[in-house]
Chain A
Amino acid sequence: MQESPKYWKGIEELENSPEFLHNALSEFGTLPVKESHPSTDDTVAPRRDFLKLMGFGLAAATLASCEAPVRKAIPYLNKPEEVDPGIANFYASTYFNGQDYNSVLIKTREGRPIKVEGNPESPVTRGGLSARGQASLLNLYDQARLQSFAINGKPADKDQVDQEIRTKLAGVTGRIAIVSPTIISPTTKRVIAEFAGRYANTEHVMYDAVSQSGLLRANGGVVPGYDFSKAAVIVSLAADFLGTWVSPVEYASQYIVNRKVSSSKKTMSRHFQFEPNMSLTGANADVRVAVKPSEIGKVALALYNGIVGGGAASSYRNAQLTKAINELKAAGNRALVVSGSNDVAVQTLVTAINAALGNTGTTINPAAPSYVRQGDDARMARLVADMKAGQVGAVIFYHANPAYDHPLAADVKQALQNKNLLSISFNEKMDETTSLCQYQCPDHNWMESWNDFEPRRGALSLSQPVITPLFKTRQAQESLLVWAGNPNTYYNYLRNNWRGVLGGNFQAGWDKAVHDGVAAGTLSPAPATQIAPVISADQAAGEIAAAKPGSGIELALYEKVGVGNGSHANNPWLQELPDPVSKATWGNYVSVSRAMAKEQEWEQGDVIRVTANGKSVELPVLIQPGQAQGSVGIAIGYGREKAGKVGDKVGSNAYPLAQLRNGAIVYNVPVTLEKTDASQPIAQTQTHHTIMDRKPVVQEATLAQYIKDSKSVTEYDKISTPEGLEKPNKVSLWQDYEYKNHHWAMAIDLNSCIGCGSCVLGCQVENNIPVVGKQEVINRREMHWLRIDRYYSSDTHKDSFETEGKLATYALMEDPSDNPQVIFQPMLCQHCNHAPCETVCPVLATTHSTEGLNQMTYNRCVGTRYCANNCPYKVRRFNWFSYYSNEKFETVNGHMFTDLGRMVLNPDVTVRARGVIEKCSFCVQRIQLGKLEAKKQKRRPVDGEVVTACAQSCPTQAIVFGDLKDPNSRVSQIWRREDGERGFKVLDAINTQPNITYLTKIRNTDVSNFFAPEAEHAAKAEPHNA
């Protein structure tokens, strides 16, 4: 066979190399990627590996591009022994900043304070706590706090500051002054004394922003040891002792002892109040007489003449005054007269009256005077003058802010401009005074400090640090010690100082004192046995009699329960706490009577210029029933310039209107008023003020009627049925719930509630309730779960229906009386057993628990607000905005925006999202905690173990919370005892069956003006005293 010729296509085929052979067999050539066979072929990238790498790369790039939130959960390396995550610790401590004294318990979670509660161990405050005390917690986390030592505002090293100050102090010519508000810490005073020992010529000047120097001068330098609990007749001359005067929590808890009634104790003290502004105390008085500020002295004189002076003629006459004199006399040594005046003459007369009545030893305890006011106006005025004259070489401001809160603020500011004056401030913030000082040496917050207190002789208390100092601050006492050259820490210093009082085993006594927060004993020098009066009573009487009565309009400056003297102005909780009487928030105003507004043609909100002594402020008008004719009221504490972003420019500063006269600050001055063109809305949480004769809402009766028949004081709604009139709950569409284990309920005694607002703040802090700011309050969208409704009586009642006609009567009923009676009613979710809100929610976001609670499931809520519309009590609150992230709220609700501020939030309570309804939960987190604690110990919770935040903070125990399933619980007893007597349910007739029982208010007056006389069974009854 002939071999067929071979054709080759190229030289490669001819050569027939293995490489050629390999390629010839592969039809598609070599692919850049192929299936993975790394063992056989590693020259090409395997497809699967490629995909893996691509996938990983993509995922990694994607993940890297989105920033994961940094969660700062740092585990304990060495867990502190007593700190368990999720379990709260309580530490006893004391809050006092020159205003009201509170012995407290501080609740901490994971080492951060989240709530302040009253300390029941305290003999002074007896477990009560003021709104300011509650809110002081937020000051700890205030962004405006100075975060380190500074020289002229520039942060500086502590050692450098110390060195400079010590050098300068050593070389100072002239006096060294330490300016502070009242200091009730004996050990601090010792530190100051030691400092004074090191630097001769040191003077410690105390002044109070709201001065009681007249009271102190008339009583030998102390506030007499008032005991309202022993008083059957109380006459107060413009002393707001339940709200702001001297020691309101202490006085409120005493006062209420004789105000509580029950069918077994049908006695009550009688309380007369003579005052120009409608104060919280005046609102609680049985008899309130509105008098011009200049007439307070005349009232005191008339009392003096009536009681001591044997009935000499007085220029001031009033039927109620005569009655007060008679009743004081009749009460003998169980009477008490107090006065808020800063005039030593008035206070001298008051002291004389009390002495003449024999009150010393009964309603005034001479062995236990109060130390909470020690300011001396004259010394401060002299110091300011000396500073101005250049006679002072150094001044140290210890929590004092005279550039804002002193009538001579302008002089203080001017003096601080002097470069030769060494000026140092311990204040926590860069306030008006501190910002003018050369050295800022910020003190620790009180929660970061050790200290002791003696508010009342013989009642000591301690404060202890509950958190590591947040900033590079140093306790002021320690600064003084350092500058005095004492190497001791203040803690040791304090312990050493206490060695004398505790006696016995010091360590055990100390531990107990720190644990309890309080101890008996005194560290103060013994009071003078014989008080030499500054002026005699006769002299005082003559002085007052000679004073010409004011003819023009007079201004009465006053303090608000919330913001007080203004040192807490940067606290949004306090700014938004409604004034107990006017219900106004966020700012001050000129309160005028309706008659004056009508006469001057002013409307509420019109801005008027108030001028006194050449200084003026411009503020909107608020029409205040009860304002004395010819007087106006303005609150101090507002108009801060350097409080921080919350408090700055809220309202106007009224301190400059106060005057210094004869070495005392006078808060009542003649003013001229002038309308401007401006108008400015006032943010009130309540804009309708009368009860409109609605007995189903709130009930009250006179003591006489209660004594006559305790079953007649409360009216119960009855429903017509074929079987006759029945109780509303007998006629029901719904099946009743059966509570097997617990049935939580509350009782609120309207007789005990003084309307102070402590519960409102307690609730706000406990439940992370946002602050909404002035505009949103004007829009009527405040978020408080618990509010205190305040009603004024009206002159018109339903009995005018016949004569005036219904329309005219209803219109007139909207107007409060000129000097109305006032009633306070805490209003919160009633936890209805037949809740109107529960039936209307389309998604079952609000449901009933097996323990009687009306529960709100935020997660399920879609926000139709139908429940809020259908709630007859209007206690449901809607989250109109995202209060924790909407920049509109960054100023007022800033603590929910920053890491620092968020430390204040209660981790047991959700911060609610926008668009959901929220409301009172009966502090369900506390109920759960109480149940769990009991369960761990295999027992049932005992009564008083589970307390809501509001009940906890009430200084007068008006709110009682507990389990109805426990027949011996206090709430069960009250419900049983008062059923048919004082106990009533709000709006009983609509059969919501609330789990809150209110107790009818009993007034120790001749008549109750609240409701139509036909409902007044005992209108003609005789006045009755305890």
Chain B
Amino acid sequence: MQHVSPVRIPLVTSGKTYHDVTQDVCRQVEAKPNIRWMAALAVALFFLGIFFYSVYRTLWYGIGEWGLNKTVDWAWDITNFVWWVGIGHAGTLISAVLLLFRQKWRTSINRAAEAMTIFAVICAAMFPVLHMGRPWLAYWVLPLQNTWGSLWVNFNSPLLWDVFAISTYFSVSLVFWYTGLIPDFATIRDRAKGPIARRAYALLSFGWKGGAKHWSRYETVSLILAGVSTPLVLSVHTIVSMDFATSVVPGWHTTIFPPYFVAGAIFSGFAMVLTLMLITRVVFRLEDYITLEHIALMNKIMMITGSIVGVAYITEFFIAWYSQVEFEQYAFINRATGPYWWAYWSMMTCNVISPQLVWIRRIRYSIPATFILSIIVNIGMWFERFVIIVTSLHRDYLPSSWAMFSPSIIDIGIYVGTLGLFFTLFLLFAKFFPVINMAEVKSILKYGVDNGPTYGGNNTGAQQSSYRPTGAPASAPVNYNKHD
């Protein structure tokens, strides 16, 4: 179908056939849940319980349950929001931008990465709603027809832009992800034995038959959605950064924020993808699909974006000095040496210094090192948002109002609670949905292996057979570009 240089290291190792791919991916969907999965889900559900309890306290008693005060009116809430939105970005980048760039290695990881995006955005979306004093009126931020005459939303407000950015991002990501899932759902449907599973997956697969027209439309839609998603990778976090950049708070009022936030988002997103992938590949034995090469490539992206972020941190200091604005200068001196110095230096260590270790090849290819690094980066990126939000607010213009922020137990509960929510969703996804895009992975399998009987019959050593896995891209439009 397409030519691939025989000397190129295969993206999927162990000489997997189409059937092997189907077998490997469908295995955990069809098998009974294993004990490790059950244990993991139990832990995730426990944290989800914490989430619900904390949310109940927040909704019943008010935001006063949090640690905020008259000076620091946002802290963990918006930190978590930006952190989760940022994490989501890797999924979109992998599935959309890398698709447009024809980076075939993405096929093994894009499904899980996109799922991560969706779940991360769900977690992120909790915060703008929960942080409202009156969340039951959250719909007022939508430009809805209302009974108050000409009362409209404020199009000047970056928070309103956020509403549009996040909702667009969520819907497009969801559609993109789901479109990719349809052929794989059909595969599972065809293999399903139980009546419930058959019905359920039949419903989910939207009657996919694997016809040429289906594949043609599938590819077209993927491409269009990739085109739509690509600007979102840049726009969503740009808009999130404008919550800060358009304000007058020293330390927020910074023109560098949009690119800086986007780089940071991809940085943290890749760290989270790595964390999840490293667990998933072990738990579901997908080492042949998510190879060391994948890990090394993602490490490189992390290192590059981490460096961009590092440059941004330094630029902020330079501009503060260069501007000669007293308040701006103090905001940055306070950041590095004030009462929250530990947060700042945690951020610097985690985000700027630690990714530089990836220059060392052994670390780049080391699974334990990568795992630790990905966690460190996640921590560092959380601190970045905390530093930006809290250290800027806690000492702004009037020294009389300077105050410290410390989180309440409910603040912590909501944060770890969203981790519970995220992992609950992710574990359910990993169990019931194909975690790897079978259809797309099959398109990058190396030739020279016995892929078993296929409908097209143009495979080496293939025998005509009535057996035809629906998910196989037998009649998929062929990409004639060389696999470079």
B145 within 8 A of A: no
User: How far is A864 from B243 in the complex, measured between Cα atoms in Å?
Assistant: 12
Tell me the smallest distance from the CB of B268 to a CB of chain A, in Å. Answer: 23
Chain B neighbourhood of A987, CB < 8 A: 397
Chain A neighbourhood of B137, CB < 8 A: 862
Q: In the complex, which of the residues A691, A776, A868, A916 contacts B399, with contact meaning CB atoms closer than 8 Å? A: A691
Tell me the smallest distance from the CB of B335 to a CB of chain A, in Å. Answer: 12
B141 within 8 A of A: yes
Chain B neighbourhood of A879, CB < 8 A: 62, 133
The segment from A413-421, A446-454, A462-470, A778-786 found at the interface with B is A778-786
8 A Cβ contacts from A830-863 to B: 836, 839-844, 860-863
Given A780-B70, A870-B249, A880:B63 Cβ within 8 A: yes
Chain B neighbourhood of A507, CB < 8 A: none
Chain A neighbourhood of B160, CB < 8 A: 842
B402 within 8 A of A: yes
User: How far is A924 from B396 in the complex, measured between Cα atoms in Å?
Assistant: 29
Q: In the complex, which of the residues B132, B141, B157, B402 contacts A840, with contact meaning CB atoms closer than 8 Å? A: B157
Chain A neighbourhood of B327, CB < 8 A: 694
A20 within 8 A of B: no
Task: Specify the chain B residue showing the minimal Cβ separation from A916.
Answer: B133
Given A843-B141, A914-B133, A836:B247 Cβ within 8 A: yes
Q: In the complex, which of the residues A776, A842, A868, A914 contacts B154, with contact meaning CB atoms closer than 8 Å? A: A842
Given A869-B393, A879-B133, A789:B398 Cβ within 8 A: yes
Q: In the complex, which of the residues A861, A878, A915, A990 contacts B73, with contact meaning CB atoms closer than 8 Å? A: A878
Q: In the complex, which of the residues B64, B133, B403 contacts A862, with contact meaning CB atoms closer than 8 Å? A: B133
Task: Specify the chain A residue showing the minimal Cβ separation from B403.
Answer: A780
CB atoms of A865 and B248 under 8 A apart? no
Tell me the smallest distance from the CB of A331 to a CB of chain B, in Å. Answer: 36
A174 within 8 A of B: no
Q: In the complex, which of the residues A782, A790, A914, A916 contacts B70, with contact meaning CB atoms closer than 8 Å? A: A782
User: How far is A776 from B70 in the complex, measured between Cα atoms in Å?
Assistant: 11
A274 within 8 A of B: no
Chain B neighbourhood of A868, CB < 8 A: 70, 73
Q: In the complex, which of the residues A691, A789, A806, A870 contacts B248, with contact meaning CB atoms closer than 8 Å? A: A870
The segment from A124-132, A294-302, A682-690 found at the interface with B is A682-690
Chain B neighbourhood of A869, CB < 8 A: 73-74, 247, 249, 393
A807 within 8 A of B: yes
Task: Specify the chain B residue showing the minimal Cβ separation from A990.
Answer: B248
A897 within 8 A of B: no
CB atoms of B69 and A781 under 8 A apart? yes
CB atoms of B330 and A692 under 8 A apart? yes
CB atoms of A844 and B154 under 8 A apart? yes
User: How far is A790 from B134 in the complex, measured between Cα atoms in Å?
Assistant: 34
B56 within 8 A of A: no
CB atoms of A878 and B133 under 8 A apart? yes
B400 within 8 A of A: yes
CB atoms of B131 and A874 under 8 A apart? no
A866 within 8 A of B: yes
A172 within 8 A of B: no
Q: In the complex, which of the residues B61, B132, B153, B333 contacts A810, with contact meaning CB atoms closer than 8 Å? A: B333
User: How far is A811 from B338 in the complex, measured between Cα atoms in Å?
Assistant: 8
B20 within 8 A of A: no
B450 within 8 A of A: no
Chain A neighbourhood of B404, CB < 8 A: 687
Chain B neighbourhood of A916, CB < 8 A: 133-134
B163 within 8 A of A: yes
A737 within 8 A of B: no
CB atoms of B247 and A877 under 8 A apart? no
CB atoms of A839 and B64 under 8 A apart? no
CB atoms of B247 and A844 under 8 A apart? no
8 A Cβ contacts from A868-893 to B: 868-870, 872-874, 876-882, 886
User: How far is A787 from B123 in the complex, measured between Cα atoms in Å?
Assistant: 38
Residue from A791, A874, A877, A914 whose CB has the most chain B CB atoms within 10 Å: A874
Chain B neighbourhood of A782, CB < 8 A: 70
Chain A neighbourhood of B243, CB < 8 A: 866
CB atoms of A866 and B157 under 8 A apart? yes
B152 within 8 A of A: yes
CB atoms of B396 and A861 under 8 A apart? no
User: How far is A995 from B134 in the complex, measured between Cα atoms in Å?
Assistant: 30
Task: Specify the chain B residue showing the minimal Cβ separation from A695.
Answer: B326
A193 within 8 A of B: no
Task: Specify the chain B residue showing the minimal Cβ separation from A840.
Answer: B157
CB atoms of A865 and B396 under 8 A apart? no
B282 within 8 A of A: no
Q: In the complex, which of the residues B67, B70, B157, B248 contacts A842, with contact meaning CB atoms closer than 8 Å? A: B157
CB atoms of B248 and A872 under 8 A apart? yes
Contact string, B288-326, partner A, CB cutoff 8 A, digits 1/0?
A: 000000000000000000000000000000000000001
Q: How many residues of A contact B (CB 8 A)?
A: 62
User: How far is A242 from B61 in the complex, measured between Cα atoms in Å?
Assistant: 42
Q: In the complex, which of the residues B64, B132, B401 contacts A781, with contact meaning CB atoms closer than 8 Å? A: B64
User: How far is A575 from B458 in the complex, measured between Cα atoms in Å?
Assistant: 89
A459 within 8 A of B: no
Chain A neighbourhood of B154, CB < 8 A: 839, 841-844
A697 within 8 A of B: yes
B71 within 8 A of A: yes
CB atoms of A864 and B131 under 8 A apart? yes
Task: Specify the chain A residue showing the minimal Cβ separation from B156.
Answer: A839
Tell me the smallest distance from the CB of A841 to a CB of chain B, in Å. Answer: 6
Tell me the smallest distance from the CB of A159 to a CB of chain B, in Å. Answer: 50
Given A874-B398, A882-B62, A861:B133 Cβ within 8 A: yes
Task: Specify the chain B residue showing the minimal Cβ separation from A917.
Answer: B133
User: How far is A694 from B329 in the complex, measured between Cα atoms in Å?
Assistant: 12
Q: In the complex, which of the residues A690, A827, A844, A914 contacts B398, with contact meaning CB atoms closer than 8 Å? A: A827
User: How far is A844 from B150 in the complex, measured between Cα atoms in Å?
Assistant: 12
8 A Cβ contacts from B60-115 to A: 61-64, 67-71, 73-74
Q: In the complex, which of the residues A779, A841, A872 contacts B69, with contact meaning CB atoms closer than 8 Å? A: A779
CB atoms of B399 and A874 under 8 A apart? no
8 A Cβ contacts from A787-802 to B: 787, 789-791
CB atoms of B400 and A688 under 8 A apart? yes
Task: Specify the chain B residue showing the minimal Cβ separation from A857.
Answer: B151
User: How far is A787 from B247 in the complex, measured between Cα atoms in Å?
Assistant: 24
CB atoms of B63 and A863 under 8 A apart? yes
B138 within 8 A of A: yes
Chain B neighbourhood of A864, CB < 8 A: 128, 131-133, 159
Tell me the smallest distance from the CB of B341 to a CB of chain A, in Å. Answer: 11
Chain A neighbourhood of B64, CB < 8 A: 776, 781, 880-881
Chain B neighbourhood of A687, CB < 8 A: 402-404
CB atoms of A886 and B152 under 8 A apart? no
Given A694-B399, A789-B400, A862-B137, A780:B73 Cβ within 8 A: no
Tell me the smallest distance from the CB of B61 to a CB of chain A, in Å. Answer: 6
CB atoms of A688 and B133 under 8 A apart? no
User: How far is A691 from B398 in the complex, measured between Cα atoms in Å?
Assistant: 8
Chain A neighbourhood of B135, CB < 8 A: 862
User: How far is A869 from B327 in the complex, measured between Cα atoms in Å?
Assistant: 16
Chain A neighbourhood of B342, CB < 8 A: none
CB atoms of B62 and A914 under 8 A apart? yes
Chain B neighbourhood of A688, CB < 8 A: 395, 399-400, 402
Chain A neighbourhood of B393, CB < 8 A: 869
Tell me the smallest distance from the CB of B418 to a CB of chain A, in Å. Answer: 19
User: How far is A866 from B327 in the complex, measured between Cα atoms in Å?
Assistant: 20
Residue from A844, A877, A990 whose CB has the most chain B CB atoms within 10 Å: A844
Residue from A790, A811, A863 whose CB has the most chain B CB atoms within 10 Å: A863
17 A–B contacts, CB within 8 A, in A order: A687-B403, A689-B399, A694-B399, A779-B67, A780-B69, A810-B330, A839-B157, A843-B154, A862-B132, A862-B137, A863-B63, A869-B74, A869-B249, A874-B71, A874-B400, A878-B63, A914-B134
A825-B400, A874-B400, A878-B63 known; 8 new pairs, CB 8 Å cut-off, are A687-B404, A692-B330, A782-B70, A841-B154, A869-B247, A872-B397, A874-B398, A886-B61
Q: Which A-B residue pairs are the 10 nearest by beta carbons?
A: A863-B133, A915-B133, A880-B64, A780-B69, A789-B400, A874-B401, A865-B73, A688-B402, A915-B134, A842-B159
